[in-house]
Amino acid sequence: MAENYLFFAIDGNNDADKDAIMFPASGFKGAVSTNSTTLEFFFVDTETIAENDDVSCTISANNHKTVCGEFASLANGNRNNTNNFTVIRDLNGDLPSNEGAISAAGISDISAMTITTS
């Protein structure tokens, strides 16, 4: 079965370091709440076998369980005959008009993200 690729993008031009990132679904290591409105997703480091990369997401208060469920649905999405490109969250509102949104905007409850790579 083809691999799903999971895409995250912050609100910006997506042209600078940590503006956007994509991980294979198989690289997902887990998620943990860090306070009432943040949920942090961890992935195998994209560069080397160092400390894992992570995306810290701002969500509605106490909504971690719902967001985890939506993430699981997207990561497991059966996308036969597509490119398996899955937007977990795209906050970029400044895409060139001729490109449009990459695909769906992703999990609507994620309102901000911080991408950390090792």
- 41, 28 contact by CB (below 8 A): yes
Number of Cβ within a 10 Å radius of residue 10: 20
Contact with other proteins (CB under 8 A) among 16, 49, 80, 100 = 49
The number of angstroms, rounded, from the C-alpha of 51 to the middle of its chain's C-alpha atoms is 18
Of 92 and 117, which CB lies nearer to other proteins in the complex structure? 117
Q: Please name the residue that has the structure tokens 């042209």.
A: 15
Instruction: Give yes or no for a contact between 26 and 86, defined as CB atoms under 8 angstroms apart.
Output: no
22 binds other proteins (CB under 8 A): no
3 DSSP 8-state letter: P
Q: Quick one: which of 16, 17, 61, 96 contacts other proteins (CB under 8 A)?
A: 61
Q: What is the CA radius of gyration of the chain?
A: 14
Residues 68-87 that bind other proteins (CB under 8 A): 68-69, 71-73, 75-76, 78
How many Cβ atoms sit within 10 Å of the Cβ of residue 1? Answer: 7
CB of 25 to other proteins, least distance (A): 7
Stretch that binds other proteins, among 12-20, 34-42, 91-99, 101-109 (CB under 8 A): 34-42
Q: Does 51 interact with other proteins (rule: CB under 8 A)? A: yes
Enumerate binding residues for other proteins (CB under 8 A). Answer: 25-26, 28-36, 40, 42, 44-45, 49-52, 54, 61-62, 64-65, 68-69, 71-73, 75-76, 78
